[in-house]
Structure 1
Amino acid sequence: MKVIEHYDKASEPLISFEIIPPKRGGSVSEVFESLDKIVKYNPPFIDVTYHAAESYFEELPDGTIKRHIKRKRPGTIGLCAAMKHKYGVDPVPHLICEGFTKEETEDALIELNYLGIDNVLAIRGDAPDDNVPRYKNGTYNEYAIDLVSQIQDMNDGKYLEDIVNAHETNFCVGVAGYPEKHFEAPNLDRDIARLKEKVDAGGDYIVTQMFFDNDAYFRFVDKCREAGIEVPIVPGLKVLTRERHLNFLPKFFHLNIPKALSEEVIADPDNAQNIGIEWSTQQCIELLEGGAPGIHFYVMGDPTPALDVIDKLPLGATVKKK
């Protein structure tokens, strides 16, 4: 089922999750252990991240330097297929611009379509690794709107090459939103204008970047509605679990940590996870009371803190553990 259909049919807020594939050489059993815990909470869908190739350098015994290029976390499509058939949960694979040609993206979409996967999240991805060369004969999507447009073209039966009687796909497309604005945008209004372009190009719903200040989300939603964006805007949350998150999360995700949360963690760093769980719980209650269509948890590897939050929420039977 499409994500947008889940929201249209929901009688109460939906709780969804985002996970990452195992590292190259890792076992999928570790992911399944997390999913075993997550599916007890009846998630309508689970996102799976996608990762471009990265480069790293190795010094050989003779002193020369050798460059290696590889994807540290391959397997997104395979994991989505396994999730769909093992757990019966709708997977939402991420598709990214950086590191993939349009041709590779088209191939991925064809595979997902054959697997009966109805949803994708279209994002630009991290800044390109300048040490990873682009194919000379390849074409690339530069921005998320270009990726959304390619997916919508396939939904209309338009492929990169002219194909007679081409099959139309039917993907539901999610796009990313930034309550505190994308770090490259000059201001929030310009960022929302770009977001509206993505929605107008075919985006069916919006999932936000993680945030810790609900005022940012509510202000963002108001501005989106004023701009004519009517699709669901789902708040994305991560539970702060350790003191180093106070520096790590703002640095890598370009977000702000409220002073009250920061001071509480600094004063009692050994209790950071419990502080983070309580903060996230209050965030969820306020967001749901304020009309958010659901909560999307960025759990990455360990879902336990997010599940602890859910256990504290006054949710109905559809979200309670089986």
Structure 2
Amino acid sequence: MKTPNISFEFFPPQSLDASFRLWETVRELAPLDPSFVSVTYGAGGTTRELTHDAVQTIHKHYGLNVAAHLTCVDASREDTLAIAKDYAKTGVTDIVALRGDPPKGAAGFVPHEDGFSSSVELIEALAETGDFNIRVGAYPDPHPESADLDANVAWLKRKVDAGANSAITQFFFEDDTFFRFRDKCEKAGIDVPIIPGILPIENWKGVRKFAERCGTEIPNWLNDAFEKAVRDGREDLLATALCSELCTDLIDGGVEDLHFYTLNNPALTRDVARALGITPRVVLQDVA
């Protein structure tokens, strides 16, 4: 089996304990030599400054290629592009361009009166600068706001036509979900890399709730397996085995890149990477 390129997603801390957890996660996973790492925005743009600080710190102190999430929520076009330009000045030229989730309690996304109305508009503006490698989101299961999977593919095509260089998918549970989506994208003329998003399941109850909210299909066998594993105290063991198997099946199907949603917890991601033959890069230092 060919060793894949890997990348990681982190989220910015909102407390002292969360800060320690983030930096411990980065410290543990950085030696696995990821091709890039990304840092998310909170719903409604609530972590904008925290995201900016985390991006700059990871880039400066760990020497990693950082892709900063940038959304259209609650900000003018001018302010959004100013954030992007500030990233570029400090050497951060990868952007994950997203529409973004509305603030908690909001009925749906409402554009800022002077802001971008969609991710496509944001991508077009970023592409016009010529400064960025633009990554976007993709949905291998029907998005809650889409009519069907074909609508997901059509929207991704619009983002690619606007200037996106690659796409990262929402997490999914079965390899056929990704391959079906990839085939549809190829038929639609989408020719940029589509990187599968991988979620090692730390807490099945929480993941199931999130999957239901974002439209990710939950196979009956998976729910049954985790309910039994939780009863037996083997949840982490099952999570590592299933995630490793999913990644192996994807690699066997021609996938070369995997993007892990770490949830700022390094253990499961590290264990899955080890199962795939990815080991920490050892840096030799001068010895007196």
How high is the TM-score relative to the length of structure 1? Answer: 0.80
| Contact 1:21–1:74 (8 Å) recurs in 2 | no
Cα 1:19–1:246 change in 2 (3 A) is: closer
How high is the TM-score relative to the length of structure 2? Answer: 0.89
Alignment of 1:247-266 (within 5 A): 247-266=208-227
Task: Give the match for residue 9 of structure 2.
Answer: 18
Hey, which of these two has a bigger chunk of helix by percent? 2
Distance between the aligned counterparts of 1:292 and 1:77, measured in 2?
31
SS at match of 2:7: strand
Task: Please say which structure displays the higher CA radius of gyration.
Answer: 1
The alignment status of 1:32 with 2:23, answered yes or no, reads: yes
Query: Offset at 1:12?
Result: 5.2
Alignment of 1:170-209 (within 5 A): 170-209=131-170
| Contact 2:120–2:158 (8 Å) recurs in 1 | yes
Greater Cα offset, 299-308 or 215-224:
299-308
Task: Give the match for residue 286 of structure 2.
Answer: none
Cα 1:106–1:222 change in 2 (3 A) is: same
Matched residues, number = 278
Task: Give the match for residue 39 of structure 2.
Answer: 48
Q: Supply the RMSD in Å over aligned alpha carbons.
A: 2.4
Distance between the aligned counterparts of 1:311 and 1:81, measured in 2?
28
Distance between the aligned counterparts of 1:128 and 1:239, measured in 2?
26
SS at match of 2:96: strand
Cα 1:215–1:292 change in 2 (3 A) is: same
The alignment status of 1:311 with 2:274, answered yes or no, reads: yes
The alignment status of 1:107 with 2:70, answered yes or no, reads: no
The alignment status of 1:82 with 2:43, answered yes or no, reads: no
- List alignment gaps of at least 5 residues for structure 2: 283-288
Query: Offset at 1:37?
Result: 0.2
SS at match of 2:49: coil
The alignment status of 1:224 with 2:215, answered yes or no, reads: no
Cα 1:246–1:299 change in 2 (3 A) is: closer
| Contact 1:49–1:94 (8 Å) recurs in 2 | yes
Query: Offset at 1:149?
Result: 1.0
Cα 1:307–1:49 change in 2 (3 A) is: same
| Contact 2:3–2:276 (8 Å) recurs in 1 | no
Query: Offset at 1:253?
Result: 2.8
Distance between the aligned counterparts of 2:197 and 2:118, measured in 1?
21
Paired residue for 2:121, among 126, 143, 146? 146
Distance between the aligned counterparts of 2:48 and 2:158, measured in 1?
30
SS at match of 1:244: helix
| Contact 1:261–1:279 (8 Å) recurs in 2 | no
| Contact 1:192–1:227 (8 Å) recurs in 2 | yes
| Contact 2:44–2:101 (8 Å) recurs in 1 | no
Cα 1:217–1:257 change in 2 (3 A) is: same
| Contact 2:7–2:35 (8 Å) recurs in 1 | yes
| Contact 2:38–2:67 (8 Å) recurs in 1 | yes
| Contact 2:95–2:132 (8 Å) recurs in 1 | yes
Q: Deviations over 1:218-249 (max 9, x none)?
A: 00000000000011010001011234135323
- List alignment gaps of at least 5 residues for structure 1: 1-10, 55-70, 156-169
SS at match of 1:287: helix
Q: Deviations over 1:31-65 (max 9, x none)?
A: 221111011111121000022558xxxxxxxxxxx
